[in-house]
Amino acid sequence: ALIISELELKPPPYSLNSLEPHLSRETLELHWGSHHRAHVARLNSLIAGTDLDGMGLDDIVIATYNKGSPRAPFVHAAEVWNHDFFWQSIKPNGGGQPSGKLMELIERDFGSFSRMLKEFENAALTQFGSGWVWLAYKANKLDVGNAVNPCPSEKDNKLIVLKSPNAVNPFVWDYSPLLCIDVWEHAYYLDYENRRDEYVAVFLEKLVSWEVVSHRLDIAIKRAADRAREDEKDS
């Protein structure tokens, strides 16, 4: 029998009105129920019957990014990935402060939690046109076969804030994203109109799930360590 593996629209891990008053039910109905859904549908129709059919979403994103010469399904695959990641980055009664290893690295790499927030906020306000802003864990790994870092240190792996246009995400550059905010205007226009600064402030103060970010950091660190070990074995 023919097996058709369709990628599915994952619902946010909370009900659509549970981020109110910070993000309205109407915004989520449109943003998740319509924009996100349309990317899933479009992606499924573009990959049906191609070499991408049956691959996992991560692999589709990397394959279609095609080292910077994106194939047609890329924008939809990446937008599905980004939106899944965005919904999971926030929660009702979020905000507050991170703790443990995450806080430690934030303080090491940005000086303080508030300086990291400032940098994140500034990136979100200056992203021109549609796009995303990220906190990511950048492992020191070059995609060049024979490149070797002569003096590797723990600090090579660090937290960074960066922005990306339209659908691009740092995952395609081999970074491990930890947190993202959607700064496409559809993400905030109904609730905040053109006051993006308010949206970004509320996102950081009331919505971010630092538990999820911490958990992602653990995975990212483990992934980087596993790879470093593998590289050593190879060399």
For the CB of residue 88, give the shortest distance to other proteins in the complex, in Å.
22
**C-alpha–C-alpha distance, residues 105 and 229, integer Å:** 22
- Find all residues with CB under 8 Å of 132, minimum gap 6, and list them: 82, 86, 163, 164, 168, 169, 180, 181, 182, 183, 184
Q: Is 134 in the site for other proteins (CB under 8 A)?
A: no
- Comparison of 99 and 126: residue with beta carbon closer to other proteins: 126
- Comparison of 160 and 190: residue with beta carbon closer to other proteins: 190
Q: Residues 13, 54, 152, 165: which binds other proteins (CB under 8 A)? A: 165
Quick check: 178 and 137 in contact, CB under 8 A?
A: yes
Q: Is 190 in the site for other proteins (CB under 8 A)?
A: yes
- Comparison of 101 and 186: residue with beta carbon closer to other proteins: 186
62: which DSSP letter? Answer: H
Q: Is 230 in the site for other proteins (CB under 8 A)?
A: no
**C-alpha–C-alpha distance, residues 235 and 228, integer Å:** 11
Instruction: Output phi, psi for 26, to 5 deg.
Output: -60, -40
Q: Is 198 in the site for other proteins (CB under 8 A)?
A: no
Q: Is 130 in the site for other proteins (CB under 8 A)?
A: yes
Q: Is 35 in the site for other proteins (CB under 8 A)?
A: yes
Q: Residues 1, 128, 147, 232: which binds other proteins (CB under 8 A)? A: 128
Q: Is 24 in the site for other proteins (CB under 8 A)?
A: no
**C-alpha–C-alpha distance, residues 235 and 230, integer Å:** 9
Q: Is 194 in the site for other proteins (CB under 8 A)?
A: yes
- Comparison of 85 and 184: residue with beta carbon closer to other proteins: 184
Instruction: Output phi, psi for 47, to 5 deg.
Output: -95, -15
- Comparison of 130 and 214: residue with beta carbon closer to other proteins: 130
**C-alpha–C-alpha distance, residues 30 and 25, integer Å:** 9
Number of residues that bind other proteins (CB under 8 A): 19
Site residues for other proteins per CB under 8 A: 30, 34-35, 38, 75, 128-131, 165-167, 184-186, 189-190, 193-194
